[in-house]
Amino acid sequence: MTTTELSADTGAANRTGLYLAALQLVFTLGWTTYVIYLPKLAAEAGIAPSAVILILMLDQAIFTIADTAMGMAADRIAHHVGRLGLFVALVTAISCAAFVALPFVAGAGHAAQGWFIALIVVWSITSSALRAPPLTLLGKYRARPQVPFLAALALLGYGVAGAVSPYLGVVLREHDARLPFVISSAVLLLTALGLSRIEYGVARDTASSAPAAAAKPLGLVPIAFIVAMVALALGYQLHFAMNSAPFYLRFAKANELQWLMPVFWIGFNIAMFPASLVVKHRGGLIVMGAAGLCGAVAIVVAELAGSLNTLIVAQFLAGAAWGCMLMSAVSAALAIGSTGAEGKVTGLVFSALALGTFARMAAVAGGLQKMPDYAPLLHWAPVACWAIAGVGLLVIAAARLQGASTLKASAGG
């Protein structure tokens, strides 16, 4: 390959990553808009405030199933160039239609309560098409050394959305829901409609006469990987969503949280890119494991911090660790699923994230954070989740490396 061809290939790969980043950014901001307005919309539809957390748990339960199902569908469809983009666009159109209808149906009052819940279910199921399926493009069409950096680019949208979410909440809270829902849906649909063009481009750039690999059943390593991912996701949810604000409130006022909470996501966005270089040469499992252990240490520092500055540094490092874990998880999933199951394994990663969110919401719904007896559990559970998963992943990575070395030695002998 000439220098010009290599440069063109790199440019096309970067455009793919940036496109996926935009898709994740728009989708995640749409989810944030939904969470901000859901209590108000539920009240308009005659749903009790105490039921809002149950609706959010329903969303996550649906995501847990639908993310894997959509990933498996992507594996089947991606063999036909252009079909994956068309599939995502069509499902996204249904998702956006349901999303736009939510504030209008809620405004009809108690009589439309059933339709309101039905629209939420339709939106939850169809929005899963925007997570795992687009990311399968990286595993199916891009050279493996490119994947970690492109995964970092794609997840940049997720991280940026996390950073701006506190400001979005302040800006939108007092506005009517209909215009934000229409705007976010229109932008999301336009972004999704571009997937077919992106798919054709990456398929053309990497055209191959080799037949598509047939998917194989998952072995013990992928199962252990997903179990570890569930633990990492739960640790993230408990630390960031439940413990971070109380940590900051030890040293700051409530109105300062919108400036402090994004520190976690700044670390997330910055750390992914240098970590992608390590993943490229050492593999995703090793980086996930090491980041899990480093993140556990950062949470301990946050727990014991004696000043706001120390806490800010600890939160930055915890966010950096989570960015490394998630970027490495996507890279590892695409590598593990390289036998034709990229979508399935990537979908399982997102299902693990949804399951972690569901568990955290269940803890909130049960009032666990208000029970003094359980306070130590909530504070130290994230440390245990990240540390245990980190050790487990490093053991798996070491075993794989040992097996590869043994096989190489046998072949050489």
393, 288 Cβ separation under 8 angstroms: yes
Tens digits of per-residue pLDDT, 88-136? 889 999 999 999 999 999 988 888 899 999 999 999 999 998 888 888 8
- pLDDT score, position 142: 61
Last residue of a domain, one of 179, 210, 241: 210
Please tell me the distance from the alpha carbon of residue 210 to that of residue 200, in angstroms, as a whole number. Answer: 17
CATH of the domain at 163: 1.20.1250.20
In a domain, 254, yes or no: yes
Looking at residue 82, its pLDDT comes to: 63
**If DSSP codes are grouped into helix, strand and coil, which group holds residue 213?**
coil
- The residue from 210, 228, 247 where one domain ends is 210
Name every residue whose Cβ is closer than 8 Å to that of residue 197 and which is 6 or more positions away in sequence.
85
* Total domains in the fold of the chain: 2
Q: Pick the closest to residue 220 from 386, 74, 400 (CA basis).
A: 400
Cα–Cα distance for residue pair 10/270, rounded to 1 Å = 21
Whether residue 100 is contained in a domain is answered as yes
Cα separation, 162 vs 262, whole angstroms: 7
Averaged over 313-325, what is the pLDDT?
A: 97
- Asked whether residue 343 is assigned to any structural domain, the reply reads no
Distances in Å between the alpha carbon of 209 and those of 139, 335, 395?
Answer: 17, 21, 38
1 confidence band (pLDDT: 50, 70, 90): very low
User: Are 259 and 370 within one domain?
Assistant: yes
Average pLDDT over residues 379-400: 92
Does residue 171 carry a pLDDT above 70?
yes
Residue 154 and residue 17 in contact, taking contact as beta carbons nearer than 8 Å: yes
Tokens, residue 305: 């911090």
Answer yes or no: do 255 and 370 share one domain.
yes
Q: Which of 149, 179, 210 is the last residue of a domain?
A: 210
Question: Residue 411 maps to which CATH number?
Answer: 1.20.1250
Percent of the chain with pLDDT over 70: 87
**Both 17 and 113 in a single domain?**
yes
CB atoms within 10 A of CB 69: 17
Task: Retrieve residue 177's tokens.
Answer: 């829901």
Distance CA 383, CA 293 (A): 9
Question: Rounded to the nearest 5 degrees, what angle is found at the Cα of 166, between the Cα atoms of 163 and 171?
Answer: 125
Q: What would the mean pLDDT of 229-247 be, rounded to a whole number?
A: 95
pLDDT digits (tens, 9 = 90+) for 13-38: 677 778 888 888 999 999 999 999 99
Axis crossing angle, helix 284-304 with helix 308-336, rounded to the nearest 10 = 160
The answer to the question of residue 348 being in a domain is no
For residue 6, what pLDDT band results from cuts at 50, 70 and 90?
A: very low
pLDDT number for residue 19: 82
Choose among 82, 99, 77: nearest CA to 26.
Answer: 99
Give yes or no for residue 5 having a pLDDT over 50.
no
For residues 173 and 275, membership in a common domain is answered with no
- Tell me: do 238 and 160 sit in the same domain: no
Q: What local confidence, expressed as pLDDT, does residue 11 receive?
A: 60
Both tokens of 343, joined, read 């979508």
Any domain includes 329: yes
Instruction: Give me the pLDDT at residue 218, please.
Output: 62
Distance of alpha carbon 102 from alpha carbon 116, whole angstroms = 6
If asked whether residues 49 and 163 sit together in one domain, one would say yes
Q: CB under 8 Å to 141, separation ≥6 — which residues?
A: 199, 202, 203, 205, 206
Q: pLDDT category, 85, cuts 50, 70, 90?
A: confident
Q: Do residues 333 and 285 lie in contact, with contact meaning Cβ atoms separated by under 8 Å?
A: no
pLDDT at 209: 40
Lowest model confidence (mean pLDDT) among 54-58, 68-72, 231-235, 341-345? 341-345
Residues 59 and 175 in one domain: yes
Q: Identify whether residues 320 and 291 lie together within a single domain.
A: yes
Q: Where are the alpha helices (DSSP H) in 3-146?
A: 3-44, 52-77, 83-106, 113-127, 132-141
Question: For position 62, what pLDDT does the model report?
Answer: 96
Instruction: Compute the mean pLDDT over every residue in the chain, rounded to the nearest whole number.
Output: 86
Question: Which range is least confidently modeled, 55-64, 189-198, 386-395?
Answer: 189-198
Q: Are 32 and 161 within 8 A, CB to CB?
A: yes
332 is a domain residue: yes
For residue 17, give every residue at least 6 positions away whose Cβ sits within 8 Å of its Cβ, in sequence order, or none.
138, 149, 150, 151, 152, 153, 154
- Between 147 and 114, the more confident residue is 114
> Which residue, among 111, 109, 157, has the nearest Cα to 131 in the 3D structure?
157
Which residue range is the domain that position 35 belongs to?
Answer: 9-210
The string of pLDDT tens digits covering residues 323-364 is: 999 999 999 998 888 777 888 999 999 999 999 999 999 998
Is residue 353 in a domain?
A: no
| Same domain, yes or no: 314 and 230 | yes
* Percent of the chain residues topping a pLDDT of 90: 52
Residues 253 and 278 in one domain: yes
End-to-end CA gap in the chain: 34
Q: Looking at the domain assignment, is residue 1 inside a domain?
A: no
164 shares a domain with 23: yes
Is residue 204 domain-shared with residue 222, that is, in the same domain? no
Q: How far apart are CA 280 and CA 149, in angstroms?
A: 8
